[in-house]
Amino acid sequence: MEQCDCLIVGSGPAGLGAAFHLTEHDPGINIIILDKEKVTSGGLRNDCKMNFTFPTGFPLEYWDRAGAEELFPEMFNHLHPEIMTTKNLSIYQRRAERLGVRLMEIRQAHYGTDGGIILIRELVEKLKSRGVNFSLQEEMVDIKKGSPVVITDTREITFRKLIIALGRRGFAFLQEIMDKLEIHYIDNIVDIGLRIETREENYPIVRDYYDPKFHFPDKVRTFCTNSRAAYVVKEKYSGRHGRDYFSVNGHAFSEKRKRSGLVNFAMLKTVGFTRPLASGQEFAEMLGQQAMLMGGGKPLMQRVGDFRLGKRSNGESFTGDLYNFEPSLKSCTPGDISLAVPGKIMRAIWKAMKMLDTITPGLLHPATIMYYPEIKLYANKPQFKDEYFQVRDNIYLIGDGAGTSRGITGAWASGIRAASGILKSL
Ligand SMILES: Cc1cc2nc3c(=O)[nH]c(=O)nc-3n(C[C@H](O)[C@H](O)[C@H](O)COP(=O)(O)OP(=O)(O)OC[C@H]3O[C@@H](n4cnc5c(N)ncnc54)[C@H](O)[C@@H]3O)c2cc1C
């Protein structure tokens, strides 16, 4: 049986943040990092925009401004972000305020999907040179209750400290682990919405501000804007009982790549449930599965022009001079998203889109595409024993999967925090 001081499951930013902090302060520590994928670093591969303004990416239940900001210098040391400039913000902010909308000013850096891969290589090499042992394509499948042993698909590993940082795709598995270890958690909040894609000239604010974050009434917000070499993707999520579904998402390459002329971003509504609904995640999964059913196993897409007229999109909606760009995600089914999105969510998002079109005119061009569903699961809220995200003696749950972050920087910071707890107790 393999043994280590600290086993980190998941090589996303949360796992890496922990590994860097541990090796910096305890050079002799013996760390194994597992990842079920054959490449490392989870979500750092996704567009890699980094937000350095509190509270973006830092859930307020676990972070305050001082606690987050004191970790930024350490992150700058490893991630070397080049903060992008913004222009004309006050003009957009004034227009937004008149409608009761807030435009957040965020310090942001953007590596792009290709730049992120280069960064990951550097980070992994550094950790290897500090003696960290990476084991890729190895999946944690279980944990022994009552003894410090993780079971993977190939072996058993004994740990002194265990950090589990599985990200959003590990959400369902993390719940199984929490059930097994009898860790109490709630899971009642989800973000559900659309991904919007349009030509850059219909959303020109991105030339002034790479990822403008608007907060609308009814808990609707823009999220993860991509432009320049941008495209929409679909990601498969495994739900309970083997019921898989797709969620759409967005990426962009760095400045070096050819521009697509398109912009994409999410319009998300946060939905919080109270008793008797037991699981927000299960609710979101069911919406994802319903969209799969309607789309014949694919996400749905609809042109704004069709949506406004109350008719479904079809093959013809994706040709012709008015509908003047092709969807970057072709493997979607043209249809009627208003049949699939719950009414209250659709009304709030459509209202927000109209407000956005007033702030940055052009968004509601008939050609604009709405993809559905985009689902964000980061609402697992385990009951932590301490501020270091410890749930049971020597077991720490961090990152997006455990609800301690909502983005790369928050995830990295969660890793630092868990690592400092571990260093104290070691
Ligand atoms: C398409 C897309 C674009 C995004 N763009 C941005 C962005 O621009 N800026 C931003 O701040 N955030 C962005 N995000 C969110 C960001 O990726 C996450 O907030 C961040 O990666 C969370 O870090 P994490 O370490 O918690 O989890 P992850 O980065 O998801 O890492 C978790 C890792 O755990 C591994 N894993 C899961 N289960 C197991 C298991 N059982 N055994 C072993 N390994 C396992 C996974 O393979 C994965 O590598 C984006 C997300 C997506 C999907």
Q: How many CB atoms lie within 10 A of CB 103?
A: 22
Residue 111: the pLDDT is 85
Task: Domains for the chain: give ranges and CATH numbers.
Answer: 2-83+110-186+381-425 (3.50.50.60), 189-376 (no CATH)
**pLDDT one-digit tens code per residue, 21-78:** 999 999 999 999 999 998 776 777 777 889 999 999 999 999 999 999 999 999 999 9
Q: Between vectors from CA 191 to CA 93 and to CA 109, what angle results, nearest 5°?
A: 50
Give the integer Cα–Cα distance in Å for 364 and 203. 9
Ligand 1 interacting residues, C-beta cut-off 6 A: 9-15, 34-37, 42-43, 46-51, 57, 139-140, 165-170, 173, 224, 233, 235, 249, 251, 399-401, 405, 407-408, 411
User: How many Å lie between the centroid of ligand 1 and the Cα of residue 362?
Assistant: 32
Q: Between vectors from CA 217 to CA 301 and to CA 223, what angle results, nearest 5°?
A: 50
Residue 259: the pLDDT is 83
User: How many Å lie between the centroid of ligand 1 and the Cα of residue 169?
Assistant: 8
Residue nearest to atom 26 of ligand 1 (CA): 399
Give the integer Cα–Cα distance in Å for 218 and 348. 6
Atom of ligand 1 nearest to the CA of 34: 43
Residue nearest to atom 35 of ligand 1 (CA): 10
Give the integer Cα–Cα distance in Å for 25 and 239. 39
What SS3 state is found at 258? coil
What SS3 state is found at 267? strand
* Ligand 1 site-directed mutation target among 40, 224, 231, most atoms within 8 Å of CB: 224
What SS3 state is found at 45? helix
Quote the radius of gyration of the chain (alpha carbons, Å): 21
Residue nearest to atom 44 of ligand 1 (CA): 35
Phi, psi of 297 (to 5 degrees): 90, 5
Orientation of helix 408-425 relative to helix 72-79, angle to 10°: 110
Q: How many CB atoms lie within 10 A of CB 186?
A: 15
Start-end of H helices in 148-269: 171-180
Q: For residues 114 and 256, is the Cβ–Cβ distance under 8 A?
A: yes
Q: What value does the mean pLDDT of the chain take?
A: 93
* Ligand 1 site-directed mutation target among 41, 46, 396, most atoms within 8 Å of CB: 46
pLDDT in tens, the chain (426 residues): 789 999 999 999 999 999 999 999 999 999 999 999 987 767 777 778 899 999 999 999 999 999 999 999 999 999 999 999 999 999 999 999 999 999 999 999 988 888 888 899 999 999 999 999 999 999 999 999 999 999 999 999 999 999 999 998 888 899 899 999 999 998 888 899 999 999 999 999 999 999 999 999 999 999 999 998 899 999 998 777 777 899 999 988 877 777 889 999 999 999 988 878 778 888 999 999 999 999 999 999 999 999 999 999 998 888 877 788 999 999 999 999 999 999 999 999 999 999 999 999 999 999 999 999 999 876 678 999 999 999 999 999 999 999 999 999 999 999 999 999 999 998
What residue has token string 């385990």? 382
Atom of ligand 1 nearest to the CA of 138: 43
pTM of the model: 0.88
Give the integer Cα–Cα distance in Å for 304 and 309. 9
**pLDDT one-digit tens code per residue, 199-228:** 999 999 999 999 999 999 999 999 999 998
